Homo-oligomer: A and B are copies of this chain.
């Protein structure tokens, strides 16, 4: 017989949920109103005991007040998290956006000690800024080994392409992050590095057997467990050889047997967002939450419907199809994790930031970010692009609407304009710049004639469905070279695309690569490729712009 009342049970189960909210203060500011709860929904759910919130969007200064407000709606301490793998600036304006982790993996190949120091600094920088905003849990590091360059969703989010590099760097990152009293989260168990399907769209299947997994995918997870990581996120992946029926997120064999049993992980297990299509296509909103919990997950991330998730889990407990002890175990793991969180003293909230600082980002944080950008930039034939009167600055932007990095004031747009290059901005939802001829794919009649500066902002992003293969960039570069129209090429993001283009590129062409897409990286890449007169104009503008440094 169950002795607890249903309402007590409901409140306890609610504690295990992590729901999604906008970092903005008002409902009307939500960037994704279909996914982000309204303030009245949040107030009700937190009042009913929901124990975690994941935040997206807004600025770091809004976020600080947002976190205080959410905490005020809850009776108990909340887990407040963000998917800020590359720094607070990746999700919240004003924070530092660091270069993607894979850049540190490249540095590790040449100088492992330097890379390890940087990875630790990377983690402590994120931890420090998370504290300043009121977040206590960062959903990083990615522990996937990006062994497959065609991976559309991990790609440069991984710390390396081999298990040793990833293991060492993620442990250094974890050390830095947890030194600030912020929880980390290793993801996506048991390893999302060798997939060509994006789990935001469909369920990726991994055909590897246990011995392969032990040699590769599991290695970084074992290391970071040994280093005391507080939480691990499961991936929406079907590992045929372990559980041919259920994806890792919903699999007892993977969570309870492999992760808790073989790998002896004692911390929090959290699902990847249950609202992702890999799950919602096959499982109902209550069903998915119950299955994840039954399989051994402690925290239910972004359930399709928070109320249905709570009700369904409560029902299973009342029917005793899941033992009450599972609930107590998860609650006690959550409690333990919360105890590890540093008590953050907020400064007087009448001031946005500590009174001595004019900006959220400190000078040393900005310096660190610049250092990483500079260390990870690559060049060929710098200083050669000249001013022109009829140049075309052909930009390809993978995600035109979600790129806070690109607007009319972005260096990638205004600096070439100063040198006579008119911007032509292409994106996957626009009129195609392509014609059918595979040897001359770029429809120059539609694009115009003149020397072309080609700038590609391509990361192999989630939701895009492909890494970067859909667009015939290699043929396009060859076509421009044949017609002697290519003045320069810059790739921001995917290193695999850069390597392939480099092979197709004439040795005389100016080119640059930056793993990061931030304005700082844009200025640096462009001013390096342009000749000294253009670069001087550029520099004086930049000095004006960054006068406060």
Contact = CB atoms under 8 A, between A and B. Distances in A.
A69 B62 CA distance: 15
Interface residues on A, range: 35 or more
A400 interface: yes
Interface stretch (A26-34, A135-143, A524-532): A26-34
Contacts of A406: 401
A28 B61 contact: no
Given A34-B544, A431-B446, A28 B361 contact: yes
A359 B26 contact: yes
A195 to B, nearest CB: 24
B409 A352 contact: no
A68 interface: yes
Interface string A45-81: 0000000000000111110010011000000000000
Interface in A426-476: 426-427, 429-433, 443, 446-447
A262 interface: no
B401 A41 contact: no
Contact of A61 (B41, B62, B349, B443): B62
Given A65-B352, A430-B425, A40 B548 contact: yes
A27 B358 contact: yes
Contacts of A38: 358, 546-548
Given A26-B360, A94-B26, A361-B28, A547 B40 contact: yes
A407 interface: yes
A344 interface: no
Interface in A272-304: none
A115 B350 CA distance: 41
B409 A33 contact: yes
B25 A353 contact: yes
Contacts of A545: 33-34
A396 B71 CA distance: 42
A358 B423 CA distance: 42
Nearest to A346: B350
A407 B32 CA distance: 9
A541 interface: yes
Interface of A: 24-29, 31-34, 38-41, 43, 58-62, 65, 68-69, 89, 93-94, 349-353, 358-361, 366, 400-402, 406-409, 414, 423-427, 429-433, 443, 446-447, 541, 544-548
11 contacts: A25-B352, A25-B353, A29-B59, A31-B409, A32-B409, A33-B409, A33-B546, A40-B358, A58-B59, A430-B431, A431-B431
